[in-house]
Structures are given as structure tokens and as C-alpha cells.
Amino acid sequence: SQQGEEDPQALSIQEGENATMNCSYKTSINNLQWYRQNSGRGLVHLILIRSNEREKHSGRLRVTLDTSKKSSSLLITASRAADTASYFCATDAYQGAQKLVFGQGTRLTINP
């Protein structure tokens, strides 16, 4: 089954509110990354959290990682219309595997 499952699948909030997306995975990992994809476009790397880290911040983004629960969350604070996009988590497996395993993504809509 798919490593890296996000929930919710879709999220619609008002501009200015906070958006929280969750990701679960199944195997041990080296790192977990979050990407954004605008409709019909490529992926933009947002933030990386290593398996020995529990929380990381970057601007309005906050990522947490709980390796005991094999889960991560991405919080976007003070959302803006430009944050409307799909958000994916991606893991690279422990022991040097080079490939990333992506979840199905959360489609975030920010309503003005």
C-alpha cells in the first residue's frame, strides 16, 4: 500500500486562517519533505525535516515529525489566496534509497 498518506484529501478555509495537513507513512525514513504543486505545474520544495528532528519552521510554515507514530504535519499560518495548491509529503526510505515516495496530496483552497 501507499507510503505517505495525507489527510484531509481536500481542505477549504478562509484567508487568514491556519491550515493543517497531516501525513502518515509506513517504513523507517531518513527524511520527510513537503512539496507544493500549483495546478498544472511542477513541484516546489517547501521544507525538509530529518528523522532526528521533531519540529521545523520556515516563514509561515511549521512542520512536525513524530517518528513513533510515523506521522508529520504541515501548518501554514495566516493563509493567503496564493497558498491555494496541492501539498504533498514525500519520504526517502532508510538505508540510502534514493527514491522519494509521495502521498496522494491535500488540495488546499484559500477563499478570499
Partner 1 sequence: NAGVMQNPRHLVRRRGQEARLRCSPVKGHSHVYWYRQLPEEGLKFMVYLQKENIIDESGMPKERFSAEFPKEGPSILRIQQVVRGDSAAYFCASSGGQAVGYTFGSGTRLTVV
Q: Which residues bind partner 1 (CB under 8 A)?
A: 2, 4, 30-31, 33, 35, 40-45, 48, 88, 90, 92, 97-105
Nearer to partner 1, 51 or 77 (CB): 51
Residue 71 vs 77, nearer CB to partner 1: 71
Residue closer to partner 1, measured from CB, 37 or 73 = 37
Q: Report DSSP state, residue 11.
A: E
Max Cα-Cα span within the chain: 44
The CB-of-104 to partner 1 minimum distance in angstroms stands at 5
> Cβ 12 to partner 1, closest distance in Å?
16
**Could you tell me the smallest distance in angstroms from the CB atom of residue 17 to partner 1?**
24
Q: Are 66 and 53 in contact (CB under 8 A)?
A: no
